[in-house]
Amino acid sequence: MTTAVEFSSVSRHFGAPDRLVKAVDQVDLVIEEGSFFAMLGPSGSGKTTCLRLISGFELPSAGEIRIFGENCSDVPPNRRNVNTVFQDYALFPHMTVRDNVAYGLMVKGIDRRTRRSRADDMLALVKLEGFGDRKPAQLSGGQRQRVALARALVNEPRVLLLDEPLGALDLKLREAMQDELKSLQKRLGITFVFVTHDQGEALSMADRVAVFNQGKVAQVGSPSDIYERPATRFVADFVGSSNVLPPDLTRAFGGPAEWASLRPEALRLVASAGARVTGRVTALRYLGAGTRVALESYGQELAVLAPAGSALPETGAEVGLDWDAKSLHMMAGA
């Protein structure tokens, strides 16, 4: 499979030597052509800086960035076959939707008739036929996001960079746009690199996910790898919700004396009599599809996700816990 983007020991540092900020620190990364790749992490973790390094808006302090095999570490943005969709969309308010989409073609010197035709084709692709003569202010947030997508795609980039493009949308629209983005990527077959701090977005949309922490990549893998087999305590705690067990507690749960991850949905509430582990319920939180039961066991707070409709204990009650042995995931060296 062809590699679209490759980072080799890439760093991006800011500031004076005595106050050096390591925004990206010795990152190695491979993004395959035609994949939907997510960069996931909290604010300040380095994911957006990596996106800017791919686009050329930032240049590496060390290391190499290759795009389709070409070293692009010092290549300016306009000479890279990539385009970016920003969170704020950055549409020109005085231009029509069609002219916004066609702007990049105009800069390239493409004739007006061709620009108009290709812009209309892109608007049809993102399901905005008939919207070409409107201004951005006449569109909803979701429609403006689609215009930004069409503008980025009209130049036929080989890599599309998306910098938290759904962050400004409400929950229902964001979920709908997740499906549309994934479907669009599959139809076009080009490489999407998507930056987000939302774990649900990354897990539901991406083929592969890189989890960032403090300028480094903590783990790269498929969504199921990241969720079910976290490599570190940070990944287990950041991606979804997990009971991160210290070595002593892991041993009490039947594992070796190592750090471990046990997801709340993997735990089952059972009668305390004869249970392998017991705990005392401290709180109940109704979530609709289930109830989150917080309890204390061996001096540590744990969480159990009880399915909707199941019998629930009262706060203060002693309960037993059960789980499948394979659900207890060891994080050696974490």
E strand spans, 51-141: 62-67, 70-71, 82-85
List, in order, residues 6 or more apart from 172 with CB less than 8 Å away: none
Q: What is the mean pLDDT of the chain?
A: 90
Strand positions, DSSP E, 175-289: 191-196, 208-213, 216-221, 243-245, 260-262, 268-270, 277-286
In CATH, what number does 241-330 get? 2.40.50.140
Give the pLDDT band (50/70/90) at residue 155: confident
Q: Strand pairing partners for 29?
A: 7
Domain ranges of the chain: 3-234, 241-330
User: Left if phi > 0, otherwise alpha if psi is -120 to 50, otherwise beta: which for 225?
Assistant: alpha
Among 247, 202, 192, which residue's Cα sits nearest to residue 225?
Answer: 202
CATH level 2 (architecture), domain 3-234: 3-Layer(aba) Sandwich (3.40)
- Segment of 165-174, 302-311, 325-334 carrying the highest mean pLDDT: 302-311
Mean of the pLDDT values across residues 291-313? Answer: 92
Q: Which amino acid is at 262?
A: L
DSSP state of 164: S
User: Is the confidence at residue 89, as pLDDT, over 90?
Assistant: no
**40-53 pLDDT, tens per residue?**
999 999 999 999 99
pTM of the model as a whole: 0.88
Enter the DSSP assignment of 232: S
